[in-house]
Amino acid sequence: MNTPVEGFSKLSKAEKIDWIANQCTKDPVATKKLLERYWNPDPQVQKLHDEFIENTLSNYYLPFAVAPNFLINGEFYAIPMAIEESSVVAAASKAAKFWLDKGGFKTTILGTEKVGQVHFIYKGDAKKLRVFFNEIKPGLLESVASITQNMEKRGGGINAIELRDRSDKISGYYQLHCTFETLDAMGANFINSCLEQFAKTLKDQAKGHLDFSEEEKNIEVVMSILSNYVPNCLVRAEVECPVDKLVIKDISAEEFAQKFVQAVNIANVEPYRAVTHNKGIMNGIDAVVLATGNDFRAVEAGVHAYASKNGNYSSLTHATIEDGIFKFWIEIPLALGTVGGLTSLHPLVKLALEILQNPSAKELMQIVAVAGLAQNFAAVKSLVTTGIQKGHMKMHLLNMLNQMGATESEKAQLVHYFKHETVTNASVKEALEKLQKS
């Protein structure tokens, strides 16, 4: 690419593809064919996907799978997952099956409160600002009445508005810290609309406040935006059973339980381990969040902030053995929606929600938390028994064989061969070459 392009977003889709293919790739004809190969054959479905974002060229496929046999609060679920990682769905499915005859998973909603803030600079007397805020607080709520009326009819709305003084961090820095209940909607647009109106009302009212000096009247709103840190939008998922029910091959139940608890304890105190431990949890969570059309980046950011809430980054899961009972649980913030956004547009998102029996946002929070807990159980179980590579590399075997250009017959023979052999890139390459020479 030798020169920048002007007005790219205004080009037609075909023109955008021509420009990218000719300016950025070595074989423009092959590039165009590849992009077109991933278009949906139904023009209307493709048009729908084209309009999700700007400058769409094609569709980027991820496998859409289900992990069956999840027993959650006495109900059976097959959990949809969209992810490229080979072992995630298999691990979740194995964990679901493991806990199926032990009572399954139990979940509890601990809160559903979401947060937004108006960040502003006020140079003046803090006491006068506090008095001013208390005076205008009813007016702030009145100013968003047209925005909140439909949400309030459904039982949601604004929970609270408070003034927070953060001038110890940045000179003159204050916040309107606002909490919301958005029910089955993730609520980003609702929250941001309320916050922007709060900001306008704050500035307008300050200009006419008689007790303010001219400088104090000039409140500078820096930004108004929801927060993806939602420590009070919280769900707990857990499993438990007598230790002697933890029947694992080649290890006693007692030893397995002790090693499992130790592994989780290590992730609680060692950040290097905690990051990878929690990444495994997010393998399960992100896959369901993505399949159901929710914002996995927002979930990731909020979850990792929560993992640091005590000043050190630590495990999101916990495990204990008390009176012969093994307990394993997670408490995690999840701001999710089942209405609005892609949930009503993307055909596979709608199917995923149907597979989950069209859950409410609270129900989806519980399902997603279970997926994370199941994924973590499977990972830690492997780590303290056979090691992570044995099962992980077997799941990668087909990917490796595809990369090496193996035929269907060769793949079938090598999958059988590696049932009892260690899978590494070198061993697979050697076995394939040997098979091809025979």
Q: For 21-79, what is each residue's pLDDT tens digit?
A: 999 999 999 999 999 999 999 999 999 999 999 999 999 999 999 999 999 999 999 99
pLDDT in the model for residue 342: 83
Per residue in 173-204, pLDDT (tens digit) is 999 999 999 999 999 999 999 999 999 999 99
From the candidates 13, 362, 392, 429, give the one annotated as an active-site residue: 392
Indicate which residue of 181, 295, 346, 363 is catalytic: 295
Identify the DSSP state of 416.
H
pLDDT tier, 10 (very low <50, low <70, confident <90, very high otherwise): very high
Whether the per-residue pLDDT at 393 is higher than 70: the answer is: no
Quick check: 365 pLDDT over 70?
A: yes
Per-residue confidence (pLDDT) for residue 1, from 0 to 100 = 59
392 is catalytic: yes
The answer to whether the CB of 289 falls within 8 A of the CB of 186 is no
The overall average pLDDT reported for the chain is: 94
Kindly indicate the confidence band of residue 396, based on its pLDDT and cuts at 50, 70 and 90: low
Report helix, strand or coil for 116.
strand
81-140 pLDDT tens trace: 999 988 899 999 999 999 999 999 999 999 999 999 999 999 999 999 999 999 999 999
Q: Is the dihedral of CA 122, 124, 128, 130 positive or negative?
A: positive
- Closest Cα partner for 341 from 402, 293, 278? 293
Query: How would you label 313-337 residue by residue, b for 16+ Cβ within 10 Å and e otherwise?
Result: bbbbbbbeeeeeebebbbbbbbbbb
The active-site residue, picked from 18, 85, 125, 240, is: 85
Among residues 237, 227, 235, the alpha carbon closest in space to that of 332 is found at 235
Burial label, 115 (beta-carbon count in 10 A; 0-12, 13-18, 19+):
buried
279 has a pLDDT exceeding 90 = yes
**Is residue 389's pLDDT more than 70?**
no
3-state secondary structure of 96: helix
pLDDT at 421: 76
When mean pLDDT is compared over 246-250, 308-312, 382-386, the highest value belongs to 308-312
Inform me whether the pLDDT recorded for 394 exceeds 60.
no
Judge whether 279 counts as a catalytic residue.
yes
- Mean per-residue pLDDT, 410-425: 79
**pTM here?**
0.89
Q: How confident is the model at residue 216 (pLDDT cuts 50, 70, 90)?
A: very high
Residue 420 pLDDT exceeds 80: no
Instruction: Check pLDDT > 60 for residue 392.
Output: no
Q: Look at residue 26 in the predicted model and tell me its pLDDT.
A: 96
Residue 430 has pLDDT above 90, yes or no: no
- The strand pair at 173-181 and 114-121 is best described as antiparallel
> Which helix H or strand E contains 112, and what residues bound it?
none
pLDDT at site 401: 85
CA angle 297, 299, 305 (to 5 degrees): 105
The verdict on whether 50 is a catalytic residue reads no
Residue 391's pLDDT is what? Answer: 57
Rg (CA), the chain: 27
Identified catalytic residue from 279, 309, 390, 434: 279
Average pLDDT over residues 384-407: 74
